[in-house]
Amino acid sequence: MRVLVVGGGGREHVLAWKIGQSPLVERLLCAPGNAGTSDVAENVAVKDGDLEGLVKLCKKEAIDLCVVGPEVPLAAGLADRLRDAGVSVFGPGAAGAQLEASKTYAKRLMQRYIIPSGSSRTFEDFESAAEFLDAQQNYPLVLKADGLAAGKGVVLPETLDEALTVARDMLDGGRFGDAGRKLLIEEHLRGEEVSVLALTDGKTLAVMEPAQDHKRIFDGDRGANTGGMGAYSPAPVADEAVLSEITREVLVRIVHALARERVDYRGVVYAGMMITRGGPRVIEFNCRFGDPETQVILPRLKSDLVPILKACADGRLNTVPDLEWDPRPAVCVVMASAGYPATSSKGDVIEGLDDVRAMDDVFVFHAGTERVGGEVVTAGGRVLGVTALGDTVQAARDRAYEAVEKIRFDGMQFRGDIAARALAR
């Protein structure tokens, strides 16, 4: 098979790494990829936002399966364009991607199909939002931009003044642009977070092992929200009972809901969950693999991923055997560049990658890197995801940090407490 992975982050590196191990794959391309994907695939210089260029690439290279990584091209209709051109695609069309691209759409589905989540109200003008905020007593509140905001669209104000400022900035001030034209004000949920991802062809589900992300920049979950500073899998907070509840009440129901709404959904349904005292509640849905969660999930998957993705794309997931997992835990430590998450730093030379290559059960997935001359340099906020497997969480974590210690670049930042929650149990 000829496979194309669209995207150029850590998620796409781990996808290409896993897909490239399949005996079914004769050629693997990645557009645009990064310095890491060029070790496992052929990078092609087509940007993930160039829908026209990607359709042309798939036709020219006779691609048998296109796997789309990021949400932005999915929401822009890349999968629809490719399917219209006869290409088999893993990833939902624009209608399905609304699950992530419009929080009001996701909320409406959750209400209609009785999927547990926090209560919320949507506002389109500042006066009504302010009136509602005036009557609220319990802080923090959760304010969310309706649309895609690269992980920055959620604010948790502690006071009425702060909440009013955020609401005004979004509804009147154009903060987040079109994505902030609608504002959701949501109940604050308390508990531990977990990400549960399922592969689906719109009818059948294959639920993957749970993972826990670390969203804040600093140790102890302090500081600004980021795209994710590390992850581990499995996540003990989602034990068998919790996972089966999430499968029953969230994943099965959302796939049913999409089918019932006549949305042809082929791809990942990612449920971002809060495990509260009252049970699991949905924080958000994503329409794609999580980043960095995928960097700890796929190294644990023993099954060949390619027939599974292809079966989802072709609407026959029911013919594929159950997923098989390595019971060993995986831990991923993200190394970010100077200034992240507010800014990022480009061109800092990364040293030590060869030393890490020699380590067993350690994988360095590149997120924001590029090759300049003979060197690998930083090219984004999140630079590397250093993942290790181990017999225990402690062993996996020790090994991941041992690898991190061998890597150096100017201004590098990483958290020292990835997987601490799993160890504290």
Q: Give the residues lining the site for ligand AMP (CB under 6 A).
A: 118, 142, 151, 154, 186-189, 193, 215, 225, 272, 283-284
Q: 2: buried, middle or exposed (CB in 10 Å: 19+, 13-18, 0-12)?
A: middle
Interface pick for ligand GLY out of 193, 209, 213, 370 (rule CB under 6 A): 213
**Does the footprint of ligand GLY cover residue 228 (CB under 6 A)?**
yes
Two tokens at 116? 């547990």
Report in angstroms the alpha-carbon separations of 235 from 231, 252, 284. Answer: 9, 20, 18
Q: 137: buried, middle or exposed (CB in 10 Å: 19+, 13-18, 0-12)?
A: exposed
Shortest separation between residue 400's beta carbon and ligand GLY, angstroms: 17
- The answer for residues whose C-beta is within 8 angstroms of residue 68's C-beta and 6 or more apart is 6, 7, 48, 74, 78, 79, 89, 90, 91, 267, 288
**Does the footprint of ligand GLY cover residue 286 (CB under 6 A)?**
yes
- Which x/- pattern, by CB under 6 A, does the window 293-332 give for ligand GLY? x---------------------------------------
Q: How many C-beta neighbours within 10 Å does residue 134 have?
A: 10
- The answer for residues whose C-beta is within 8 angstroms of residue 111's C-beta and 6 or more apart is none
Interior angle at CA 384, CA 383 and CA 385, nearest 5: 140
Shortest separation between residue 9's beta carbon and ligand AMP, angstroms: 17
Q: Which residue has the tokens 């400022």?
A: 165
The entry of ligand AMP, ligand GLY, none that residue 8 binds, CB within 5 to 8 Å by partner kind: none
79 contacts 93 by C-beta, under 8 angstroms: yes
The entry of ligand GLY, ligand AMP, none that residue 142 binds, CB within 5 to 8 Å by partner kind: ligand AMP
The residue type found at 401 is Y
191 vs 307, beta carbon nearer ligand GLY: 191
281 contacts 273 by C-beta, under 8 angstroms: yes
**Does the footprint of ligand GLY cover residue 368 (CB under 6 A)?**
no
Between CA 261 and CA 109 the distance in angstroms is 9
Shortest separation between residue 142's beta carbon and ligand AMP, angstroms: 4
The entry of ligand GLY, ligand AMP, none that residue 293 binds, CB within 5 to 8 Å by partner kind: ligand GLY
Shortest separation between residue 244's beta carbon and ligand AMP, angstroms: 23
336 vs 377, beta carbon nearer ligand AMP: 336
142 vs 396, beta carbon nearer ligand AMP: 142
Shortest separation between residue 290's beta carbon and ligand GLY, angstroms: 4
**CA 59 and chain centroid, separation:** 28
116 vs 202, beta carbon nearer ligand AMP: 116
Binding window for ligand GLY (CB under 6 A); candidates: 80-88, 285-293, 328-336, 359-367: 285-293
188 vs 248, beta carbon nearer ligand AMP: 188
Interface pick for ligand GLY out of 48, 80, 146, 291 (rule CB under 6 A): 291
Shortest separation between residue 315's beta carbon and ligand GLY, angstroms: 25
Task: For the chain, give the number of residues.
Answer: 425
Residues that bind ligand GLY (CB under 6 A): 213, 228, 286, 290-291, 293
